[in-house]
Amino acid sequence: MSEPIVHLIDDDEAVRVSLGFLLEMNDLPAKTYASAMEFLEVADTLGAGCVVTDVRMPEISGLELVRRLKERGFMLPVIIITGHGDVPLAVEAMRAGVIDFIEKPFEDEILLASIRRALETSTEPTVHDPERQRFEDLLAGLSGREREVLQGVVAGKMNKVIAYELGISARTVEVYRANVMSKTKASGLSELVRIALRAGF
């Protein structure tokens, strides 16, 4: 079987060069693409591997790329890199089938760990996902109200909107959010959303 390849898509040349170098230094073979269109031209010919794509790109966004790949029955796992403020887009992408999203700026090790998980998924599609099970266990410890607040967070709603819908104060929503962050050990909003979506929440 051919060696898995990381397909890196970003319209920023500096990002392609730096991430390509990072992957090379960690023995992860990579190919880079300047646009989603360039990648789509070869997508049907690819072997084992995974895709890492920026979410905001000209012509075809990372989200639109995911949709087009899904329509083609494309099977390689996709990781989205997103800027702060793009979390609702990243959530939408994960609902469309992306296996992970990573918010900029990120530590190299976070991206590398996500890529390694994706490559394991691509070569062993039937393998049990221990991370998903761990996330499911974390969410199982939430109270009913905490789960309701988390649903609002994952939907991208502001605290005051969640408060209005649940008939509680915005301050109370903040308390529940803090409880959820503590119980899930999430370091921030984007990680909390990732945990919820990876657990199938």
- Would the pTM count as exceeding 0.75? no
Q: What is the CATH number of the domain that holds 67?
A: 3.40.50.2300
Mark whether 140 and 108 lie in a shared domain.
no
Q: Which two tokens stand for residue 37?
A: 């269109």
Q: Which two tokens stand for residue 200?
A: 């199938």
Q: Tell which of 103, 123, 143 closes a domain.
A: 123
Mark whether 154 and 177 lie in a shared domain.
yes
Helix (H) or strand (E) holding 132: helix 130-140
Q: What is the CATH number of the domain that holds 192?
A: 1.10.10.10
3-state secondary structure at position 197: helix
Q: How far is CA 142 from the centre of its chain?
A: 22
Task: Identify the domain containing residue 77 by its residue range.
Answer: 5-123
> How many structural domains does the chain have?
2
Is the bond preceding residue 125 a cis peptide, omega within 30 degrees?
no
Mark whether 67 and 116 lie in a shared domain.
yes
pLDDT in tens, 51-96: 999 988 888 888 889 888 888 888 889 999 887 666 677 677 777 7
Can you give the pLDDT at residue 108?
A: 93
Q: Tell which of 87, 108, 123 closes a domain.
A: 123
Can you give the pLDDT at residue 127?
A: 42
Q: Which two tokens stand for residue 175?
A: 């308390």
What is the distance between the terminal CA atoms of the chain, rounded to a whole angstrom? 35
Can you give the pLDDT at residue 126?
A: 40
| % of the chain surpassing 90 pLDDT | 40
